[in-house]
Structures are given as C-alpha cells and as structure tokens.
Amino acid sequence: MRTRILVTVLAAVFGVAASAQAGLINAGFETGDLSGWTTFTTADGTLGGAGVVVVPFDTDGDGVASKSARFRVGKRPGTPTPPALEGGGMYQSVTLGAGTLAISADIAAWTPWGNLDGGLFELLFDGGLVDSHDFGPIALESIERASLFASFDVTAGTHEVRLRMSRPWFEGDMSPLQFVDAVSLSGSAVDDLSPEPIPEPTPPPVPAPEVPPVPEPLPEPPAPESDPLPLEPSVPVPEPSPPGPAPVATPRGSGPRARAARRA
C-alpha cells in the first residue's frame, strides 16, 4: 500500500536547533558518513543493530549505485507488541530566506526474504508532515523505490528538515532495509541565501612605459674669435719700362777689331 501526502504550509521560525547552515550539508552522503546529520529514534524504536551506515546502493533506480544512508528500523525487542509504528531517522537544521522551498529525497526498501512491511517514510519540516510513502508488504528479493517531495512557502530564518522511517514490527536480522539518498532543497528560499558570485578582480591597468623626453639639442658654442689670417705682403710689381730703340746690329767684320786687323 502506498500513501502519499502533499501539503502546503507556511512555516514559522521556532523549535529548531541553533546550529543551522544555509542549505543542507552532505545532502547526498558524499562524505561516506552522516556528517551534518543527526540521527534519532522514536520512543520504542531502533535504527538497527548495526546502526546507520552509508553504503553504495541504487536508490533511485538509474542503474548506478551511489552513496546512500542505510537503516533497519522497527520496534526494539522487549517493548510493547505491535502495531505501534516505531523506528527513527535523521534531521538537519538549515537557514533559509523568505520564499518558496522545494524538498525532495530518493527512498528505497529491500529485503532478501520478503516482509509484511518495507517501512513508512515520512518527510517533515519544522515538525509538520509534508509528504510520506508507505511501501507496505515487500516481496522476496524485491527492491521497492519511490521519492518524497513537497513544495511550500517559508519565512526567513532557521528551520528543520527531518526524515523518519518506521515499522509496526520488531527489528531483527531478517527485517527489511531502508535507504535514503539525494536529499535536496531548492527554490527561492534557498537562492536568496546563495552567496553572490565573486567577480573576478579586474587587473589594474598597466601603465604605458614612460618614454623619457628627448632633450633639446644644446646650442652650439660660438666659434672662438680669432685674428684674421695675415695677408701675404704685397710685392710691388714694377711697371714695365717703355721699350727703347732697337739695337742696331753691327755687320760682321765692321767692328773695331775688324778695322784694326785690316790696318795691320
């Protein structure tokens, strides 16, 4: 038999633990243990002789085993006889903003022997029941799967999310096992508390390398004053004398020596 309850509630801020976080811690049991969660039992209930452990199990039926919390709930031996529902579960406190909240979880029950009751799974928010699923009788070597889901408005503040499993029979070695995985919170009540993305720092502008100013050329020093080169002394050029009368050529044999020779 399967019973599903979906209710809408406006949650008030009261009756929850002070050590709350924004969003669930270890919602998918990635750590391999129940870090972030607190376990509890009902008045005459038990979580199983081995306690709660995290094991690989295909809770959602996708063909892939993932880390899931495993329970074996029921009545403790020595307590009043059935049909009182007894067992336990786990809870966690969260801080939310005002808005819409959606809670979901994958659940499963398994036994190798068959059983009259695979377990009643209940989802509670601030102590109020928001969804449930009763697996009822479970067949030999059977795995029964389902999911819990609820959506409602919440006020800003600290709240409690709780999962409870119970059976009306005594817990023992042949009792069915219960599995929980992928507990999830979503909606505007969660988004309002999501940290703002940190913008990447803008690198400071790289200053352009300073180009040293080109110095103005120094004025050329004036050439040193020097005495003008001395001029070569001028040599007076004599003016040519006017030509005199051309010399008269003396005929050969007509000179004084010639005449003296002729006289001898």
Q: Tell me, what's the pLDDT at 203?
A: 77
Residue 97 has pLDDT above 70, yes or no: yes
Q: Tell me, what's the pLDDT at 215?
A: 72
Q: What is the pLDDT of residues 210-240, one digit of tens each?
A: 777 777 777 776 766 655 555 555 555 566 6
Residue 31 has pLDDT above 60, yes or no: yes
Average pLDDT of the residues in 182-211: 78
19 contacts 93 by C-beta, under 8 angstroms: yes
User: Percent of the chain beyond pLDDT 90?
Assistant: 58
d(C-alpha 26, C-alpha 244), whole Å: 146
Sorting pLDDT into bands at 50, 70 and 90, what band is 194?
low
The sign of the torsion formed by the CA atoms of 119, 48, 150, 33 equals negative
Matching residue, tokens 């004025």: 219
73 contacts 47 by C-beta, under 8 angstroms: yes
- At 256 the three-state DSSP class reads helix
Rounded to the nearest 5°, which phi and psi values hold at 256?
-65, -35
Q: Tell me, what's the pLDDT at 3?
A: 41
For 198-226, give the DSSP string: PPPPPPPPPPPPPPPPPPPPPPPPPPPP-
Q: Tell me, what's the pLDDT at 236?
A: 58
d(C-alpha 233, C-alpha 235), whole Å: 6
Q: What is the pLDDT of residues 45-83, one digit of tens each?
A: 999 988 899 999 999 999 999 999 999 999 998 887 767
Average pLDDT of the residues in 35-45: 96
Higher pLDDT, 6 or 175: 175
The sign of the torsion formed by the CA atoms of 112, 167, 79, 53 equals positive
164 contacts 124 by C-beta, under 8 angstroms: yes
72 contacts 49 by C-beta, under 8 angstroms: yes
Average pLDDT of the residues in 120-141: 97
Angle, alpha carbons 255-260-264 (nearest 5°)? 150
Topology, domain 10-191: Jelly Rolls (2.60.120)
Average pLDDT of the residues in 176-186: 97
Nearest to 80 by CA among 53, 120, 42: 42
Global pTM reads 0.67
Q: Tell me, what's the pLDDT at 81?
A: 73
Helices (H) and strands (E) in the chain, counts: 2, 13
d(C-alpha 155, C-alpha 53), whole Å: 33
Mean pLDDT score of the chain:
82
- Least confident window among 32-41, 197-206, 237-246: 237-246
